Amino acid sequence: MSKLNDFFRQMANIEDVLEPREVKGKKVVKPIYTRQVVTIIGVKTTKSRFLPVSHEGHGIETYIDKVDLLGKTRAEFIARKLKGIERRAHMTLFRELVEQHTNDGWQAFFAAKFGKECVVPDGLCIACWNCSLFGGLEAGRGATFSRIRYFDTYSEEDVVECVAMLESEEGMGIGNVIFEDINKPRTAETYHLYEYVKAGTRFPFITIIESPTLLDVAGYLWAVRRADEHGYGKYSANHGKFDTEFLAISTGYPRFSVLDMLEWMEEGDLKDRFQPDNPQVSFDSIQGVITLYGEEVESIAARLQEEFEGYLTVL
Ligand SMILES: [Zn+2]
């Protein structure tokens, strides 16, 4: 329990980070840098078809992103896509929390507290919890830096094993491009072929939150689980479902990268390195590193409601 309390003590106060300040009569996120960080480490495993695509397809065919790395050709899951989906999931969670804890609809609440409804990605308010964490800008009002850092990640498995493509046993998927636009009528021209990452493919990840409040960390854990159910990647309404296993949360910067994690997976000892009784990973911090492993992570997620109530009191 004291370890958990030590972790909590290294988190920034909600008033210092998340309470908006007024600039020329408008609410804006505070610029803050506390020198503290929280690093979240885990592995995401696909549980449905996943289409990590960051480019236009060729004609009616869509190919997933691939990269040659550490002796394999791997599916690539870029940081920008991870961040985009998790940001939306975080906003959905945020709106639900508002409606649970207040009598207002989220629209009225956002208008009253932040000066406008906050819409990701093009109508950001730059005053709310989501904007403070993920950053954003608004013409004529200013910009706020993101406090959350994502890194590109790659499949542990070679695409020969983990991707259904033209040459593979499964062949490419056959779909209909109207997946994301149900208002267009179905026609033969809307059919297309797509490659996809198969279920059971693993992507290690590292996420760093700067100047973290406990609410930021708890909210992030919840947002990841929401995003897992909603889906990542192209056609995410039907595809891109994940299971996420959180291996560790630390108040230090990791002395390892996603590439090291891929090598540990190759060697078969990734999870052994994150055992609470004998961890074999290190983190750097000037304030003394507190690292929680495995199930201990749930103690952070469990603080969501209480911390959100704290946030409401400073708004
Ligand atoms: Zn906002």
Residues 36-92 have pLDDT tens digits of 999 999 999 999 999 998 877 667 788 899 999 999 999 999 999 999 999 999 999
- Output the CA 33–ligand 1 centroid distance in Å: 19
- Output the CA 312–ligand 1 centroid distance in Å: 15
- Output the CA 95–ligand 1 centroid distance in Å: 11
Do residues 102 and 312 lie in contact, with contact meaning Cβ atoms separated by under 8 Å?
Answer: yes
Q: How far is CA 279 from CA 221, 229, 247, in A?
A: 22, 30, 11
> How many beta carbons lie within 10 A of that of residue 187, not counting itself?
10
How many domains does one find in the chain? 1
Question: Model confidence over 96-141: pLDDT tens digits?
Answer: 999 999 998 999 999 999 999 999 988 999 999 999 999 987 766 6
- Output the CA 59–ligand 1 centroid distance in Å: 37
SS3 state of residue 165: coil
Is the per-residue pLDDT at 178 higher than 50? Answer: no
CA dihedral 97, 101, 104, 107 (to 10 degrees): -20
Q: What is the span of the domain harbouring residue 51?
A: 2-314
**Whole-prediction pTM value?**
0.92
- Output the CA 120–ligand 1 centroid distance in Å: 8
Rounded to whole angstroms, the Cα distance separating 45 from 48 reads 9
Closest by CA to 294, choosing from 274, 314, 273, 267, is: 274
Task: State the pLDDT confidence band at 32, using cuts at 50, 70 and 90.
Answer: confident
CB-based burial of residue 199 (10 Å sphere; 0-12 exposed, 13-18 middle, 19+ buried)? middle
